[in-house]
Amino acid sequence: MEKYDILKLDNQICFPLYALSRKVIQLYKPLLDKYNLTYTQYIIMLVLWEEEKISIKELGEKLFLDSGTISPVVKKLVKQGLLEKFRFKEDERIVMVKLTEKGKEIKEEIVEIPEKLYRNFEGDKEALFQLKENLDKILAEFDEKS
Amino acid sequence: MEKYDILKLDNQICFPLYALSRKVIQLYKPLLDKYNLTYTQYIIMLVLWEEEKISIKELGEKLFLDSGTISPVVKKLVKQGLLEKFRFKEDERIVMVKLTEKGKEIKEEIVEIPEKLYRNFEGDKEALFQLKENLDKILAEFDEKS
DNA sequence: TATAATTAAATTGCGTTCAACTTAATTTAT
DNA sequence: ATAAATTAAGTTGAACGCAATTTAATTATA
């Protein structure tokens, strides 16, 4: 490998991840638009459909997002009537979030989204394979060292 | 698999991609801060170090970013003295970008970043393996269908 | 050849994403 | 018990990322 090959876009692990991640989020968009949800709002709802009730902090830990991102998005979901916020009585610093009835109801419809998405995804199979190749390369390097 | 399992965060292909992509970009940050580059600025520079001279449109095609994202970032790189913009004489709609001397010079130093990054990355090996597992699962499903 | 359609960049506006800071509540350590 | 430190949310500001629009240049067409 030449000295500067390591700087080539396709040889980096990060770029394929970054590009594919954005592309998949774009695939979600038309499916989520029907429910007036952004991708970030969607993954917050995913957590709530698993947990029923959770603090902002735990939500952030699950999604690897900090309160600066989550607080305003949750605020919008509350405004849309999908979530409710209340303070945890035993520790008033903690803000809890839970589903409203409306929030519970749309789960039924949203469950179809991942299936539809996988069908839409066929066209990006190549990007997936490219990513897998890079991943395998990186992981192989780690194995060599250890 | 239960009906709603498909809605679980870890069973989705998108979420691990999305979370890991952000995490890797965060790993780049301290390394890029020294050169006053953001990740987006960095990948634009990566293209220029491969191409020497390229139009905004082609740059966007390589990075899967549109002019709405690229134009303002290129403007900043020009202000920082790393790039130069000029119009393509044969078609004045096209704006070309090329490296300045300063832009060429920092390539020498930046070439060390990917190596450093891989070392920092050891800690996130697990996230990589998790992603690889999900990828393999998805790709296996595609194989079944075809 | 005028006019319409297309194309490349740039701009605008909205929604994140993240670092840094603020505020309020709770713990810890005098 | 009270001051200091810590913690959880929220706010602010900078930088994307993208859809939609605008502007200018070029190409196609009536």
According to the model, what pLDDT value does residue B31 have?
Answer: 94
What is the CA A93 to C1' C28 distance in angstroms?
Answer: 17
According to the model, what pLDDT value does residue B142 have?
Answer: 66
- Which nucleotides on chain D have any atom < 7 A from a protein Cβ? 7-13, 15-20, 24-27
Alpha helices per DSSP H over A96-145: 101-105, 107-110, 113-121, 125-145
According to the model, what pLDDT value does residue A45 have?
Answer: 97
**Beta strands at A95-99 and A53-55: parallel, antiparallel or unpaired:** antiparallel
According to the model, what pLDDT value does residue A104 have?
Answer: 96
A15's CB contacts (< 8 A; 6+ apart) are A9, B43, B46
According to the model, what pLDDT value does residue A145 have?
Answer: 58
pLDDT above 60: residue B146? no
Share of chain A above pLDDT 90, in %: 63
Contact B13 A24 (CB under 8 A): yes
Please report where in the chains the tokens 């020498």 appear, as a residue: B108
Contact A6 B62 (CB under 8 A): no
pLDDT above 90: residue A99? yes
Q: Is the CB of B61 under 7 A from strand D?
A: no
According to the model, what pLDDT value does residue A5 have?
Answer: 84
What is the CA A90 to C1' D17 distance in angstroms?
Answer: 40
d(CA A63, CA A73): 13
> Highest mean pLDDT range out of A8-17, A54-63, B108-117?
A54-63
Mean pLDDT for the stretch of residues A50-60: 96
Share of chain A above pLDDT 70, in %: 92
Q: Is the CB of B60 under 7 A from strand C?
A: yes
Q: What is the pLDDT of residues B6-45, one digit of tens each?
A: 888 877 778 988 999 999 999 999 999 999 999 999 999 9
pLDDT band for A127, please (50, 70, 90 cuts). confident
Mapped onto helix, strand or coil, the DSSP state of residue A59 is helix
Q: What is the pLDDT of residues B82-127, one digit of tens each?
A: 999 999 999 999 999 999 999 999 999 998 898 888 777 766 777 7
Domains and CATH numbers, chain B: 15-112 (1.10.10.10)
Contact B6 A135 (CB under 8 A): no
Mean pLDDT for the stretch of residues B49-55: 94
Q: Which of B46, B49, B128 sits opposite A138 (nearest CB)?
A: B128
Contact B128 A141 (CB under 8 A): no
According to the model, what pLDDT value does residue A144 have?
Answer: 66
Average pLDDT of chain A to the nearest whole number: 89
pLDDT band for A87, please (50, 70, 90 cuts). very high
| Chain-centroid distance, C-alpha A56 | 16
B5 touches chain A (CB under 8 A): no
pLDDT above 60: residue A82? yes
B38's CB contacts (< 8 A; 6+ apart) are B32, B73
In this complex, the nucleotide whose C1' atom is nearest to the CA atom of residue A97 is D9
Mean pLDDT for the stretch of residues A53-70: 98
Which range among A8-12, A102-106, A118-122, A142-146 shows the weakest confidence by mean pLDDT? A142-146
Chain A (59-118) residues lying within 8 Å, Cβ to Cβ, of chain B: 62-64, 107, 110-111, 114-115, 117-118
Which residue is the nearest neighbor of D11, CA to C1'?
A68
The full 3-state SS of chain B, as one line of letters, equals CCHHHHHCHHHCCHHHHHHHHHHHHHHHHHHHHCCCCCHHHHHHHHHHHHHCEEEHHHHHHHHCCCHHHHHHHHHHHHHCCCEEEEECCCCCCCEEEEECHHHHHCHHHHCHHHHHHHHHHHHHHHHHHHHHHHHHHHHHHHHHHC
- Minimal CA separation from A140 to chain B, in Å: 11
**Burial class for B91, CB neighbours closer than 10 Å (0-12, 13-18, 19+):** exposed
Mean pLDDT for the stretch of residues A87-103: 97
ipTM of the complex model: 0.90
Q: What is the pLDDT of residues A110-120, one digit of tens each?
A: 988 988 887 77
